[in-house]
């Protein structure tokens, strides 16, 4: 977990981190504007907006004004998923996509101040030494999530997402983040949710405009980048760990998604 202030230069750093780690990123814009790309859409966020990045979404910063400033918190998926309120994390992280069709939502002045104070408290807790530091951070993270859920409940309107679709989508994301390394096929996740592959595909498309395979591939790519940059595993070993048919299949997948072969990507680390 990390909390920090970001500006027009450091605003692009999460792009690199998201290639290496599965993590949730929360950005509270305090001044200026930032442009982010979700798929083929460019979305602008400004003062008072909260941006949420979650594993499985192809979200990148593409521009920021000179006066851009924001408070940023990054939480690894492992830390987040140790939280007792896992379902709350999923609901909070995916709310903007499910209800607003964009990874950004606006806060009132009072809401902004409250969330900003929580992020400041989190930053201080991260820097402090304490016997029960991990437990304290989990507690403050839960407070942060409860605040976001409270804010989000006031925004729910005309989302077009039925509670049933929302339930299955959240459940799919939970299953995906547990099993994506071993299982790349739609049927596995549909079977886990006791629904048909066609129904799962329809749900994910309706909620996000993307496919089940898009989500699987995004997480596989994040993990592949992490392994190439942070380990000495060969491409064959990575292919085996991520359950590709063989090294050739993995290399072609990586080159198609990143525009560079695994060997060259590793050499540039």
DSSP 125-175: HHHS--TTHHHHHHHHHHHHHHHHHHHHHTT--S----HHHHHHHHHHHHH
Superfamily of domain 2-153, CATH level 4: Regulatory protein AraC (2.60.120.280)
Give the model's pLDDT for residue 159: 57
Give the model's pLDDT for residue 269: 64
Angstrom distance (rounded) from CA 34 to CA 140: 27
Give the model's pLDDT for residue 209: 79
pLDDT, one tens digit per residue, over 104-149 is 999 999 999 999 999 999 999 999 999 999 899 999 888 898 888 8
CA atoms within 13 A on the CB side of 202: 8
Closest CA to 173 of 208, 221, 139, 137: 208
Give the model's pLDDT for residue 87: 67
The token duo for 53 is 């990045």
The token duo for 149 is 């859920």
Give the model's pLDDT for residue 157: 56
CA atoms within 13 A on the CB side of 89: 26
The verdict on pTM exceeding 0.85 is no
The parts of the chain modelled with pLDDT lower than 70 are: 84-87, 99-100, 156-160, 269
- Judge whether 31 and 53 are in contact, CB under 8 Å: no
Residues of 113-129 as b/e, b for ≥16 C-beta within 10 angstroms?
Answer: ebbeebbeebbebbeee
Give the model's pLDDT for residue 119: 94
Structural domain spans, the chain: 2-153, 163-267
Q: What is the CATH number of domain 163-267?
A: 1.10.10.60
């Amino acid at each position: 977990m990390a909390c920090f202030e970001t500006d027009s230069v450091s605003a692009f750093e999460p792009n690199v981190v998201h290639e290496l780690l599965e993590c949730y990123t929360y950005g509270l814009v305090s001044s200026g504007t930032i442009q982010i790309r979700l798929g083929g859409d460019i979305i602008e966020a400004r003062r008072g907006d909260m941006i949420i990045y979650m594993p499985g979404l192809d979200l990148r910063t593409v521009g920021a004004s000179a006066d851009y400033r924001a408070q940023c918190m990054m939480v690894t998926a492992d830390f987040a998923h140790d939280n007792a309120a896992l379902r709350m994390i999923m609901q909070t992280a995916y709310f903007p996509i499910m209800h607003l069709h964009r990874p950004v939502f606006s806060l009132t002045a009072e809401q902004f101040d409250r969330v900003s104070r929580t992020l400041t408290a989190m930053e201080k807790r991260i820097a402090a030494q304490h016997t029960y530091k991990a437990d304290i951070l989990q507690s403050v993270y839960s407070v942060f999530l409860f605040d976001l859920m409270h804010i989000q409940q006031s925004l729910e309107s005309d989302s077009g997402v039925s509670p049933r679709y929302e339930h299955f989508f959240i459940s799919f994301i939970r299953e995906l983040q547990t099993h994506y390394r071993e299982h790349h096929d739609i049927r596995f996740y549909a079977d886990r949710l006791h629904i048909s592959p066609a129904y799962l595909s329809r749900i994910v498309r309706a909620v996000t405009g993307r496919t089940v395979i898009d989500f699987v591939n995004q997480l596989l790519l994040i993990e592949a980048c992490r392994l190439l940059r942070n380990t000495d595993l060969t491409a064959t070993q990575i292919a085996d760990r991520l359950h590709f048919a063989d090294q050739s299949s993995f290399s072609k997948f990586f080159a198609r998604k990143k525009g560079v072969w695994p060997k060259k990507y590793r050499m540039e680390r």
